[in-house]
Amino acid sequence: MQLLCRDLVLDLSEPRVMGVLNVTPDSFSDGGRYAGFAAAVARGVAMAEEGAGIIDVGGESTRPGAAAVGVQEELERVIPVIEALAQRVTVPISVDTSKPEVMRAAIAAGAAMVNDVRALDAPGALDAVAGTGAAVCLMHMRGEPRTMQQAPEYRDVVGEVRDFLAVRLSACDAAGIATTRLCIDPGIGFGKRAEHNLALLAALDRLAAPGIPVLVGVSRKSLVGMITGRAAGDRLAGSVALAALAVMRGAAIVRAHDVAETVDAVKVAGALRRAAAGGD
């Protein structure tokens, strides 16, 4: 399996890690540690050296209750970092945004992927990406970040998430975005309670059409805290365990803050998955 990212091809024959680089002052996980340009670029380079297959740069927090950020402010946060990293690392750079203006500018600056929590549903988002060759991650989210965790309900969370993602995949196809450029994300923690998240993780192998990679983000999330009782800064072991289990259930890409540790866990899980499938 491969993911086409402009002029780069991401080999997904083995699971890969997407490193999280939040250049925001209000990230739930790192408290703005990489909001400064120099710190952000240094961390991105370090993640590539630690084995990240993709680096995901985000300039607007999507944690529950997060405040919205204007287009110009988001551009000022992410574009210099993307430009610098595109010159310093060989792995694809992803931009974590839902704004078409930011998508266009980020791709022009060197981004090879768009990671959108709204699955290119904003007006103009499909057009912003269609002709660029950039890869796209389509994520499911119920509601908006500020309110998404206020009593989310589902009759069949796996079926509803699968159907939503199928609709968005069809919209991409109609816009001329080839399936070889697409991956999907069930949106763990985005408008879902713990039982919904666990049901989705258990059903990862049933969420995507054949050939569509599944990306999962569980790193340091509240689900890990609910299971372990740990605060966000002390969820490494739980996050790594869930990442490995996600790979065993079929995830092709795991999004993580702690890249080096997650790369090792994903390699182990990938080897076991390969053995279970009868590989070498």
* From 77, 142, 168, 255, the catalytic residue: 255
* pLDDT at residue 150, as a whole number: 67
Q: In a 3-state reduction of DSSP, which class is residue 278?
A: coil
Amino acid of residue 149: Q
Nearest to 35 by CA among 43, 25, 27: 25
Q: Is 255 a catalytic residue?
A: yes
CB 220 within 8 A of CB 263: no
Question: The domain 2-274 belongs to what CATH superfamily?
Answer: Dihydropteroate synthase-like (3.20.20.20)
Low-confidence ranges of the chain (pLDDT < 70): 26-35, 64-66, 145-151, 279-280
Q: Is 99 a catalytic residue?
A: no
Amino acid of residue 73: E
* pLDDT at residue 37, as a whole number: 87
Kindly give, in sequence order, each residue whose CB lies less than 8 Å from that of residue 186, ignoring residues fewer than 6 positions away. Answer: 139, 140, 161, 165, 200, 201, 204, 207, 214, 216
Q: In a 3-state reduction of DSSP, which class is residue 7?
A: coil
Model's pTM, two decimal places? 0.91
Neighbours of 107 (CB within 10 A): 21
**Beta strands 253-256 and 135-139, pairing class:** unpaired
Domain range annotation of the chain:
2-274
* From 168, 193, 221, 235, the catalytic residue: 221
* pLDDT at residue 34, as a whole number: 59
Cα torsion through 236, 237, 241, 246, rounded to 10: -10
Residue reference for tokens 């970040």: 145
